Amino acid sequence: MKWLLMFWGGPVVLLTGWYGLSYYDMSFGIFMLTRDAHDLVFRVYGHVLGIPPETIPPLVARAMIVDTIVLFALVALRKRRQIMAWYRRRYGTPAAHHQPADAPSFGSKANLSSAP
């Protein structure tokens, strides 16, 4: 899990931190955090991609959201047994899935013997 935080969370935090600081021109004396650098970066990316620079931030945000959903879905798929065990401990097993002890289960011999 620490590798997940480093390789996914690190770039996400750095990118959103840079974007937020440079968008609001909170440079702290660092050129890369100025609004001029912000505009320059997006002009260069817009020129390279052939699209208007103002359309790039929403595209990047959407890509980060989709990547996050896919990543956490894969983590949940991988850890589904632990998640289900936690869910059962926390909320208990749903009553709809319980059968009385004397009730035959589907496909048991008791059900087959009563067939005509």
What confidence category does residue 78 fall into, taking pLDDT thresholds of 50, 70 and 90? Answer: confident
- 18: exposed, middle or buried (Cβ count in 10 Å: 0-12, 13-18, 19+): middle
Report DSSP state, residue 105.
P
Region 44-55: mean pLDDT is: 95
pLDDT at 100 over 70: no
Tell whether 17 is covered by a domain: yes
Tell whether 39 is covered by a domain: yes
Tell whether 112 is covered by a domain: no
Tell whether 115 is covered by a domain: no
Domain count, the chain: 1
pLDDT in tens, 4-32: 878 999 999 999 999 999 999 898 999 99
